[in-house]
Structure formats: structure tokens, C-alpha cells
């Protein structure tokens, strides 16, 4: 239980410091971070689509054999 309490405290401290960093970011920094987030989400979606196509083709190839 002590270990869990220690981990909980560490996580709370991490949240606090991350929130402080976010609050201190300039509007330009926030805008860049948001743009990067959108770009990464789009890239992630493209990769998911590519993987689904690959899996479909692999399934078709397996059925053909």
C-alpha cells in the first residue's frame, strides 16, 4: 500500500508540473503543439488505413493459397 501511495504522489506531482508547463507555454507554442497534434493524428489515421489494406490483401492471398 505504501508503494501505491508513493506512486500516486509521484503521478500527482507529474500532473502538476505538466500543467504548469502547459500554462507557461506561449500562444505560439500552443499553436505549434496543436498543429503537430493534428498532423500526427492524420499520419496515424493514414497508417491505420494502410495496415487495414495490407491485412485485407494478406487475407486474400492466404485464401488464394
Q: How far apart are alpha carbons 58 and 31 in whole angstroms?
A: 40
Reported pTM: 0.55
Q: Where residue 20 falls among pLDDT bands split at 50, 70, 90?
A: confident
The yes-or-no verdict on residue 48 having pLDDT over 90 is yes
Domain residue ranges in the chain: 2-64
Q: Where residue 65 falls among pLDDT bands split at 50, 70, 90?
A: confident
Q: How far apart are alpha carbons 10 and 62 in whole angstroms?
A: 49
Determine the pLDDT at residue 58: 94
Amino acid at each position: 500500500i505504501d508503494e501505491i501511495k508513493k506512486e500516486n504522489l509521484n503521478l500527482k506531482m507529474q500532473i502538476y508540473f505538466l500543467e504548469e508547463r502547459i500554462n507557461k507555454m506561449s500562444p505560439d507554442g500552443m499553436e505549434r503543439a496543436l498543429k503537430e497534434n493534428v498532423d500526427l493524428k492524420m499520419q496515424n489515421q493514414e497508417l491505420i488505413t494502410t495496415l487495414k489494406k495490407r491485412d485485407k490483401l494478406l487475407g486474400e492471398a492466404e485464401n488464394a493459397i
